[in-house]
A and B are shown apart, each in its own frame.
Chain A
């Protein structure tokens, strides 16, 4: 697989990032390098190796179902660019 400019544009859209031309070329270069590494790994025979989703601990710890400390609306909204009626205020987008 080869990363081209069209794919970079699509990724920009999906990640809501806006890159300038120089950044775009740099990213194109980096991502293609990463893919080359993956290609190399693909050449290994992994027939008898189970897929690995996570490299560290064997399993997740679980929480007991108990309600703990929560933030106040003031704390929750402190970093919000816009707020109203104790809610985050965002541009109107109706898409389900």
Chain B
């Protein structure tokens, strides 16, 4: 990219919600289904039908708004966005143009070790269109209206993002938040999260924004990255050669990796928004909002901060454990039983998460329960068992007999370490007696041999000597030689 330019990006993120029924009628809103089986007179746009908003749709909007620190507007209104397309049966989409349900707010994103605040302009309620199938028939398109009317939230950001990397971080944070809030799976591949990207460029230090282009309907982060990078490059080249960027709606072609205008200016969409006469304003009372606030789950950012600040985990481990709510909550529960948070983090990351991925199961159904895990961590912390004996020998045995107490099992397997002085001194004497040559080298000043003696000692003890005590006692003995 040419030096001296800055890319300015704003997003419109569409989140498809996991309510049971659709936004304005009672059709099944879940993903899939045989074509046109989740439709009714309302979603088909038949004359004489009336829409009625879904309480859960409204509640989800409030939940997301509260999580992002938005102002929740007690009065919001519904508008019609008019355009003709075969998968839009009514000829308009119900949306909120003038008075959206949430205004303001921000989402924190992590870039490297820093945090950036991306301001939210507003969140509004709207409904999805149906699905067009273009590749089934050579001369016609097929329309499946199962998705028509499925509830969406559109999150519109301020132009606060500066790179494809930041867009990626924003989308990941939004998906994580949606999952924590249990309002959407945020799955871009299945289309439950999509984004339109507004891109402009300006010279560094310039305060006004350049003319922006909107890239529509990006349904994967990989495409979004490529589209943004290509488009920024295209605009910079135009400016560099003295031309102007024309405001346009663009389509990104993943095959060629290029953007191209969707429609020329003369045909530019004129959506003729106007208040929907079928829908009176949406009026919320504070009790409704407060009841949602009182049931808010912990949020990913809070969890991440708790893991780094309170539990002392590395940024990497904290991010890994905070990625999913169920894992985060399990880990928090574990840490309520043990003070050894870092060892607990390693245990969950190295032993439990692989099991969960393999078995597609919740961590709470892991065969070894929380009390036994807590006990195991305590045994290690107390130097009663070495880390390697704990995970290489005791752990497999525990998996076979998950009901056993780790201490009892370690005892019966003869894995417990000892700091018994007589036992250790006997071992030291044995080691020194077996290697007279090394002992005399040590006396002549080859101090590095201490490690060799220690290794021999641990081998002889079969891992049962407490290394801390043994090191101290060995050192004492060697110094006295």
Contacts and interface: CB of A to CB of B under 8 A. Distances in A.
Interface of A: 14, 16, 53-54, 56-73, 76-77, 82, 84-96
A67 B27 contact: yes
Contacts, number: 141
A55 B77 CA distance: 12
Contacts of B134: 92, 94
**A61, A62, A82, A87 pick with most chain B CB within 10 angstroms:** A87
15 contacts: A14-B82, A53-B99, A53-B281, A63-B52, A64-B55, A65-B20, A65-B21, A67-B21, A70-B27, A70-B37, A73-B36, A89-B142, A90-B86, A90-B141, A96-B251
A64 B85 CA distance: 30
Contacts of A69: 26, 40
B137 A89 contact: yes
A62 B54 contact: yes
B38 A70 contact: yes
Interface stretch (B184-192, B270-278, B437-445): B270-278
Nearest to B60: A65
B56 interface: yes
Nearest to A61: B52
Contact of A54 (B41, B54, B84, B280): B280
A89 B36 CA distance: 12
B136 to A, nearest CB: 7
Contacts of B52: 60-63
B282 interface: yes
Interface of B: 19-21, 25-29, 34-41, 44, 52-58, 77-78, 82, 84-86, 98-99, 133-134, 136-137, 139-145, 216-217, 251, 262-263, 270, 272, 275, 277, 279-283
A53 B98 contact: yes
The SS class assigned to the A binding surface is loop
Given A63-B26, A64-B55, A87 B133 contact: yes
Contacts of A14: 82, 270, 272
A43 B58 CA distance: 38
Contact of B144 (A56, A87, A91, A93): A87
A87 to B, nearest CB: 4
B272 to A, nearest CB: 7
A63 B21 contact: yes
B140 A62 contact: no
B44 A67 contact: no
A34 to B, nearest CB: 14
B27 A93 contact: no
Contacts of A72: 37
B263 A95 contact: yes
Contacts of B272: 14
B20 A84 contact: no
Contact of A70 (B28, B57, B98, B270): B28
Contacts of B44: 71, 76
Contacts of A73: 34-37
A59 B75 CA distance: 9
B26 A58 contact: no
Leading 5 A-B pairs by shortest Cβ distance? A68-B26, A59-B283, A65-B56, A87-B142, A88-B143
Contact of A60 (B133, B217, B282): B282
B156 to A, nearest CB: 19
A96 B129 CA distance: 12
A90 B279 CA distance: 30
Nearest to B17: A65
A59 B216 contact: no
Nearest to B271: A14
Given A58-B281, A89-B143, 5 more contacts: A16-B84, A66-B26, A70-B37, A89-B137, A90-B141
Contacts of B98: 53
A69 B25 CA distance: 10
B145 A76 contact: yes
Given A60-B52, A87-B133, A87-B142, A96 B35 contact: no
Nearest to B37: A73
A92 B142 CA distance: 9
Nearest to A94: B134
Contacts of A67: 20-21, 26-29
B280 A92 contact: no
Contacts of A88: 36, 86, 142-143, 145
Contacts of B39: 70-71, 76
A92 B145 contact: no
Contact of B36 (A66, A68, A82, A86): A86
